[in-house]
Amino acid sequence: MAAKTAFEHAYAVIMAGGSGTRFWPLSRRRRPKQLLRLHGPKTLLEQTLDRIARIIPPSRTFVFTGAPILREVRRALPRVPPSQIIAEPAARNTAPALGLAAHEVLGRDPEAIMVVLPSDHVITRTREFLRTLEAACLWASSEGRSVVVGLKPTRPDSGYGYVRKGGRVARVAGRVIYQVEKFTEKPNERLARRYLVTGRYLWNGGMFVWRAATLLKNLERFQPRMAKGLAAIARAGGARAVRTFRRLYPRLEKVSIDYALMEKISDAFVVPADLGWSDVGSWAVVYELRKKDAQGNVRPPASLLFDAQGNMVYSPGKFVLALGVENLAVIETEDALLVCPLALAQSVGRAVEELGRRGFGRLM
């Protein structure tokens, strides 16, 4: 479906370093969200690869993750060459990883275009997603341009960063490209409602497209110290490569690409898109995404619910009987059980942080 010219220099860079606790007890330090089957039979990470593999082959796909889950990530993505699944020696947020990815792909292809994708989001409109990337790659193939996918907001969410679109600059592959007027941090609720009303604000879902050379140039300009460190890591070859990587990478500034660059550069563009996107932020979101019974319950086949409505029951190993409960999350794994109103699902992460302090760190 996509023109060969759009993707022939494209490299996918999948960011799989996340380590959330919001899906505890299903998610753990060593089993973060991207490794969970929250939506469909495959993990979110596998779905991310499947989606992008339709236009960029796994041989041109890089995955950045953390050392504790490297083996699991490699096992989940057998089509990606293991050497392209890279464990960061320390979590430094997205900017250092993307700088390193730029060096890697530039070594292979001076024309390389990077397609940056989070690994733990749901996208239900794959065709629209691929078309959007086609437009972004075509537009970003000119030097100097950085493109962000701007997700059309469906509610006044104060949990996301927003992109304010400026003037329309082109129509590419059926998609409209806008200048980015401004990247904004998470707004408060009042502001988020205003953002939604104006129609000028889009969610920043962490999907970027740019030439690797453009990224490196921008890093040199706006993050010269980081650029230097990255260059040193990239230069070190042979036996010294791994040692240098392990020594220098943890010293790089811990900063997101949004903050390090996107908010600073002038040649930023946004492609608005409606992708059926969700960052699956809590059990409440999983509840929304899943199929429900006639009483609005998400529940396993081995369960009986009486006078129960709007509950999210996850219990792969155990029969569940529930009576007279409403809008409750009941999440069961081999060693732990979570019970809380779905309305409080966003607090689960904070509660789990307490586990360590109360002597239950092994359960985190």
318 interacts with a copy of itself by CB under 8 A: yes
289 interacts with a copy of itself by CB under 8 A: no
Scanning 67-75, 165-173, 175-183, 347-355 for contacts with a copy of itself by CB under 8 A, the matching segment is 347-355
Could you tell me the smallest distance in angstroms from the CB atom of residue 72 to a copy of itself? Answer: 22
List, in sequence order, every residue forming a beta bridge with 328; answer none if it has no partner. 341
285 interacts with a copy of itself by CB under 8 A: no
315 interacts with a copy of itself by CB under 8 A: yes
Cβ atoms < 10 Å from Cβ of 12:
27
**Site track for a copy of itself across 39-58, x = CB under 8 A:** --------------------
Size of site (CB under 8 A) for a copy of itself? 35
Q: If we measure between CA atoms, which residue out of 181, 180, 125 comes closest to residue 133?
A: 125
24 interacts with a copy of itself by CB under 8 A: yes
348 interacts with a copy of itself by CB under 8 A: yes
* Nearest CB to a copy of itself, comparing residues 67 and 351: 351
DSSP summary character for residue 262 = I
Interface positions, 69-98, toward a copy of itself (CB under 8 A): none
* Nearest CB to a copy of itself, comparing residues 49 and 325: 325
Output the six-digit token pair for 11: 């490299």
Could you tell me the smallest distance in angstroms from the CB atom of residue 317 to a copy of itself? Answer: 8
* Nearest CB to a copy of itself, comparing residues 241 and 343: 343
Q: 50-53: which pairs have CB atoms within 8 A and are 24 or more residues apart?
A: 51/123, 51/126, 51/129, 51/130, 52/12, 52/14, 52/115, 52/117, 52/133, 53/79
Q: If we measure between CA atoms, which residue out of 21, 12, 18, 16 comes closest to residue 331?
A: 21
* Nearest CB to a copy of itself, comparing residues 102 and 352: 352
The 3-state secondary structure of 200-261 reads CEEEEEEEEEEEHHHHHHHHHHHCHHHHHHHHHHHHCCCCHHHHHHHHHHHHCCCCCHHHHH
Question: Which amino acid is residue 305, in one-letter code?
Answer: L
341 interacts with a copy of itself by CB under 8 A: yes
Q: If we measure between CA atoms, which residue out of 64, 47, 120 comes closest to residue 279?
A: 120
Task: Pick the binder of a copy of itself from 108, 274, 319, 356 (CB under 8 A).
Answer: 319
Task: Pick the binder of a copy of itself from 306, 316, 349, 361 (CB under 8 A).
Answer: 306
189 interacts with a copy of itself by CB under 8 A: no
Q: 33-41: which pairs have CB atoms within 8 A and are 24 or more residues apart?
A: 33/120, 33/280, 34/119, 34/120, 35/69, 35/72, 35/73, 35/76, 38/122, 38/280, 38/286, 38/289, 39/122, 39/280, 39/286, 39/289, 39/290
330 interacts with a copy of itself by CB under 8 A: yes
Task: Pick the binder of a copy of itself from 155, 339, 349, 361 (CB under 8 A).
Answer: 339
Task: Pick the binder of a copy of itself from 73, 95, 173, 325 (CB under 8 A).
Answer: 325
Scanning 99-107, 227-235, 262-270, 327-335 for contacts with a copy of itself by CB under 8 A, the matching segment is 327-335
Q: Which residues bind a copy of itself (CB under 8 A)?
A: 24-25, 302, 304, 306, 315, 318-325, 328, 330, 332, 335-341, 343-344, 347-348, 351-352, 354-355, 358, 360, 363
